[in-house]
Copies of this chain bind each other. A is one copy, B any other.
């Protein structure tokens, strides 16, 4: 529920607008040292509370419908440095440090997890994807 708009935008109270977004807010995960965006995921209140309580960056897996702790199965963990909150309090940025191979579940040609899920970009014509660094 949006409370007083000015409080949401200019206040210091945490008042994340989960209800406005069907319980799920987008979170961009950004490498603190390079500024690279590593992935975009979702958090619900449970994932956010887990993140606050443990310092582990937690997400909500919309495909598996369960709490998702990055690196729990792959070992490629990320350390949480900062949590940024936007004006409307309905989007987040986790600034993180990589503690293993990259965050992506895909692997590059050397068999290493890609650093970022955003390894492709639109070509100049806007009709195909191209690989950024491979």
Contact = CB atoms under 8 A, between A and B. Distances in A.
Copies of this protein in the complex: 2
Given A35-B35, A37-B30, A86 B118 contact: yes
A9 B104 CA distance: 11
A34 B26 CA distance: 22
Interface residues of A, number: 42
Interface of A: 9-14, 26, 28, 30, 34-37, 39-40, 52, 82-88, 91, 93, 104-106, 114, 117-122, 126-132
13 contacts: A9-B106, A12-B129, A13-B128, A14-B122, A14-B129, A28-B28, A28-B40, A39-B86, A39-B91, A52-B126, A82-B122, A83-B126, A84-B120
